[in-house]
Structure 1
Amino acid sequence: MIKVLILDDSPEKVGIIKKFLKDECNIDEQFVDERQTIKEGRKILYEKDYDLLLLDLVMPRDAESEPSADESIKFLDEIYFNSEIHIPVHIIGFSQFDELILSHTDSFDDKLWHLITFSYSNNSWKDKLKNKICHLISVKNRFKESIEARSKFDIGIICALETPELKEVLELPCNWKTFELENDPNVYHEGTISTLNGNSYRLIACSINKMGMQATASVSSMLIAKFKIKYLFMTGICAGVKEGDINFGDIVIGENLTDYGSGKMTEGSSGEFIFKPEPHQFPTDQNLISKINNFIRNNKELIAIQTSYKGTQSTTVLKAKIGPVASGSYVVASKNLVESIAEPNRKLLAIDMEGYGLYLACHYFNQTKALFIKSVCDFGDIKKNDTYQAYAAYTSARFLNSFVINMM
Structure 2
Amino acid sequence: MKILVVHDRSEIASQIRDVVVGVSAAAAIDIVEDAVGARDKLTEDYFDLMIIDLTIANVSGRGEVSYQAVEGLLEEVFTPSRIFAPGNIVGITRDPDALKRVSTKIGSHLMSIVREDDEGGWQTELADRISYVQLSQRARSSAWLTKHDYDLFILSALDKELRPLQSIFELSEQRGLPGVFDFVFNDREGRVRRAACAAIGRAGQASAAAEAEGLICQLRPKLAIMVGFCGGVEGKVQLGDILVAETAIDWDFGKWKPNASAAKLYSRPEPITIRGSTTHRIARRLVDGGIGRIDGLQEGLFRRSAKEITSPSIKLTPFASGSAVIADANVLETLRGLNEDIGGVDMESYGFYYASRYSRAARAEFMCIKSVADHCKPDKDDRLHEACCYASAELAHHIVTREWDFS
TM > 0.5: yes
Matched, 1:228 2:220: yes
| One of 166, 176, 180 as aligned partner of 1:181 | 176
Matched, 1:321 2:318: no
Structure 1: distance between partners of 2:232 and 2:115 = 78
Pairwise CA distance, 1:350 = 1.8
Q: What residue is the counterpart of 2:287 in the other structure?
A: 296
Q: What residue is the counterpart of 1:268 in the other structure?
A: 259
SS of 1:203's equivalent in the other structure is: strand
Matched, 1:277 2:276: no
Structure exhibiting the larger radius of gyration computed from Cα positions = 1
Amino acid of the structure 2 residue aligned with 1:294? R
Structure 2: distance between partners of 1:286 and 1:61 = 63
Seen in structure 2, the aligned counterparts of structure 1 residues 355 and 280 have a Cα distance that, compared at 3 Å, is same
Amino acid of the structure 2 residue aligned with 1:189? F
Deviations 1:232-270 (A, max 9, x none): 211111112134x5322111111111122233322234x
Structure 1: distance between partners of 2:103 and 2:311 = 74
SS of 2:174's equivalent in the other structure is: strand
Q: What residue is the counterpart of 1:7 in the other structure?
A: 7
Structure 2: distance between partners of 1:4 and 1:141 = 19
Amino acid of the structure 1 residue aligned with 2:209? A
SS of 1:201's equivalent in the other structure is: strand
Q: What residue is the counterpart of 2:155 in the other structure?
A: 158
Seen in structure 2, the aligned counterparts of structure 1 residues 57 and 154 have a Cα distance that, compared at 3 Å, is closer
Q: After alignment, is 153-162 or 342-351 more displaced?
A: 342-351
Contact between 1:303 and 1:318, CA under 8 Å: does it hold in 2?
A: no
Amino acid of the structure 2 residue aligned with 1:181? G
Pairwise CA distance, 1:217 = 1.1
SS of 2:389's equivalent in the other structure is: helix
Structure 2: distance between partners of 1:337 and 1:202 = 42
Seen in structure 2, the aligned counterparts of structure 1 residues 294 and 265 have a Cα distance that, compared at 3 Å, is same
Percent of residue pairs identical = 19
Contact between 2:240 and 2:309, CA under 8 Å: does it hold in 1?
A: no
Seen in structure 2, the aligned counterparts of structure 1 residues 42 and 282 have a Cα distance that, compared at 3 Å, is same
Amino acid of the structure 2 residue aligned with 1:278? R
Seen in structure 2, the aligned counterparts of structure 1 residues 54 and 27 have a Cα distance that, compared at 3 Å, is farther
Seen in structure 2, the aligned counterparts of structure 1 residues 61 and 258 have a Cα distance that, compared at 3 Å, is closer
Pairwise CA distance, 1:198 = 4.5
Structure 2: distance between partners of 1:376 and 1:356 = 17
Q: What residue is the counterpart of 2:242 in the other structure?
A: 251
Q: What residue is the counterpart of 1:192 in the other structure?
A: 184
Structure 2: distance between partners of 1:94 and 1:379 = 74
Number of paired residues? 385
Pairwise CA distance, 1:275 = 3.2
Matched, 1:400 2:396: yes
Structure 1: distance between partners of 2:184 and 2:167 = 13
Structure 2: distance between partners of 1:61 and 1:390 = 61
Contact between 2:209 and 2:355, CA under 8 Å: does it hold in 1?
A: yes
| Structure 1, unpaired ranges of 5+ | none
Pairwise CA distance, 1:305 = 0.8
SS of 2:248's equivalent in the other structure is: strand
Contact between 1:327 and 1:352, CA under 8 Å: does it hold in 2?
A: yes
